[in-house]
Amino acid sequence: MCGIVGFVGRKQAAPILLAGLEHLEYRGYDSAGVAVIDNGSLDVYKTKGRLQILSDMIGGGKILPGTIGIGHTRWATHGKPSDDNSHPHKSSSGRFAIVHNGIIENYGPLKAELEKKGVAFASETDTEVVAQLLDAYYDGDTFSTLVKVIETIEGSFALGILNRDNPHEIYAVRRSSPLIVGLSEDGNFIASDIPAVLPFTRTIYHLNDNEIVRLTEDTVEIFDTARRPIVREKEKVDWDVSAAEKGGYPHFMIKEIMEQPEALSKTIAPRITHDGSITLDGVQLTKEQLAALTHIHIVACGSAYHVGVVGKYVIEELTRIPVTADLASEFRYQNPIVDAHTLVIIISQSGETADTLAALREAKQRGATVLSIVNVVGSSIANESDNVLYTWAGPEISVATTKAYSTQLAMIYLIALYIAGQTGKISKEAFSSLLTKISALPEQVASILKLAPQLEQLAQRYAYLEHAYFLGRNLDYAVAMEASLKLKEISYIHSEAYAAGELKHGTISLIEEGTFVVALACCERLIPKTLSNIKEVKARGAEVLLVTVENCQLADEQADEVDHMIRIPQTNELLMPSLEVIPCQLLGYYIAKARDCDIDKPRNLAKSVTVE
């Protein structure tokens, strides 16, 4: 969840490091720093707070003339945000400087052991242990020293390392934390994510676990821990740097909301063949394997978990296979019942979510087949899965997901329909009809986005409320969970989602005069039930926004119970989540905007959660 950049080349490093870190600000951070080698001196500058503070401290990088350096933006895990806890960290001798993403799980005993030997620590972080170990183990060879260190430490890490004794090379290594290498005519890069290097190059390598890379201004060498060379094919990034910029929008979030029709098209269209069938690239499951499935687990965190809740309803309805939606952080600790007849669907935007990756490994250890839905090619989850489906949503910069959520939903629909077709659980006519409706989703989402001015006006009325409640039944409830999260994570308004039928079992005690309630009623067979729940909250003074379908007919007395109404296009009930989430995304965005919140980088949150 932190950001790493490193550069060695023929240009001044510090301005390049700052530019790279600026493109990683979306990941969430509370401090920033750089380390640069020049004329045998290894200098570190770091500070709590925004990147601009660091930039001002070093004159935009101009006061650091060296052509080799590493930079970091930190999101606190061990130790509070402070100057001392910021990265890079130096070893006591001043020989090594390192940046680190991830978590060193055994740092406590290692730190105690080093302190017994007289090593003085300058920070509270787990990361500094790595810097001090490099010093303690140093044998004059950075490579062999690094191997000994990574064999000693436990946990997840991406490390960028400078050694003052070798002033023309950067070493880097990863384990369960993302790291890429960028190649350019002016020099070479390491980074935790592609946007950091896009201003300078589109040619990259993805590193795999326990691979060590040595960079100079002219060479990139990748080795395994036995120092055997690894040949890696270069990759070309096919999206432009502008895809990671705002493109005229005030925030990345609204840009990405508006990009959803295009993202959905890129996800759906290539998977539908000219003869009206579904092709799932990267999926090797046979008809026999699918027919033998006795259970499906969908495992994810946050918004991806909400996709899983939708997936439970959709997959069970179409395939009649029992489905459980599991929080990844709970999955591996609950002694899950999975075996060779279980399919585990892993969902993660980044493909690096620590809890989800751990759940994947637990599932594979127990014999399950793993199918992952990710957005990042070459990510850890993608690499370790038996089958992989990429959403092709393009880079998502805002911490609050929108287009990744929508494209993950689309993949769930395609998977469910594919399994139903392969196992004979759906007629050809029903298959064709549903596939046609899936194909129409991008256009329908585009039509809903035209409601943005109406939702912006509505947001002005409710921008300063203290509490909000989202209600729904069945699939509407699944969407209510995501809608509530969108509001709370970017506006900081207390918001909860409830199954509408549960109101009378305690929740209704929270409803009072002026309470804002968003009722989702797009499952047509359940609309009358939800309208009854609306009457219950209105009787206690709530103000109600109803999100429903175009053909929902309300009697006069029912219409009187609703203060505001948003109507969305009709489609198959199973696909409604893709449509009804859109006005909820817009409402959350515009309320946060009216409250002048830091929408793309909400407090305490990070984009890619690579620690437990």
433 and 581, same domain (yes or no): no
- Residue 458 resides in a domain: yes
420 and 534, same domain (yes or no): no
3-state class (DSSP) for residue 543: strand
Q: Return the CATH number at 177.
A: 3.60.20.10
Any alpha helices (H) in 388-526, and if so which ranges?
A: 403-422, 428-439, 441-449, 452-462, 475-491
Q: pTM (2 decimals)?
A: 0.73
pLDDT at 287 exceeding the cut of 90: yes
- Residue 608 resides in a domain: no
476 and 424, same domain (yes or no): no
pLDDT at 588 exceeding the cut of 90: yes
234 and 208, same domain (yes or no): yes
Active site residue 607: yes
- Residue 511 resides in a domain: yes
Could you tell me the residue range of the domain that residue 301 belongs to? 252-446
pLDDT at 81 exceeding the cut of 80: yes
Of 48, 403, 486, 607, the active-site residue reads 607
pLDDT at 242 exceeding the cut of 80: no
C-alpha distances in Å from residue 406, one per residue of 75, 256, 263, 310, 578: 27, 11, 8, 11, 6
How many CA atoms within 13 Å lie on the side-chain side of 331?
Answer: 29
CB 227 within 8 A of CB 143: yes
Amino acid identity at 47 = T
Q: Of 403, 431, 446, which residue constitutes the final position of a domain? A: 446
pLDDT digits 0-9 by tens, 430-470: 999 999 999 999 999 999 999 999 999 999 999 988 899 99
User: Which range among 342-346, 444-448, 513-517, 555-559 shows the weakest confidence by mean pLDDT?
Assistant: 555-559
CA pair distance 604, 358, nearest whole angstrom: 23
Q: Give the residues across from 520 on adjacent strands.
A: 547
- Residue 601 resides in a domain: no
* Between 531 and 62, residue with greater pLDDT: 62
- Residue 600 resides in a domain: no
When divided into structural domains, the chain yields a total of 3
434 and 518, same domain (yes or no): no
Q: Of 393, 411, 446, which residue constitutes the final position of a domain? A: 446
Which long-range contacts does 161-164 make (Cβ < 8 Å, 24+ apart)? 161/70, 161/96, 161/97, 161/98, 161/134, 162/35, 162/37, 162/42, 162/68, 162/69, 162/70, 162/88, 162/96, 162/97, 162/98, 163/95, 163/96, 164/37, 164/40, 164/41, 164/42, 164/94, 164/95, 164/96
Sheet of 220-223, strands arranged across: 89-90, 96-104, 155-163, 170-175, 212-215, 220-223
User: Which range among 244-248, 406-410, 457-461, 540-544 shows the weakest confidence by mean pLDDT?
Assistant: 244-248
202 and 125, same domain (yes or no): yes
Question: Taking all residues of the chain, what is their mean pLDDT, rounded to a whole number?
Answer: 92
216 and 317, same domain (yes or no): no
Q: Of 243, 265, 294, which residue constitutes the final position of a domain? A: 243
458 and 411, same domain (yes or no): no
Q: Return the CATH number at 487.
A: 3.40.50.10490
Active site residue 552: no
The two three-digit tokens of residue 89, written as one number: 């960290």
Numbers of helices and strands, H then E, in the chain: 20, 24
222 and 257, same domain (yes or no): no
438 and 456, same domain (yes or no): no
149 and 220, same domain (yes or no): yes
What is the per-residue pLDDT for 266? Answer: 87
Q: State the helix-helix crossing angle for 302-319 and 475-491, rounded to 10 degrees.
A: 170
Of 2, 301, 584, 597, the active-site residue reads 2
- Residue 94 resides in a domain: yes
429 and 472, same domain (yes or no): no
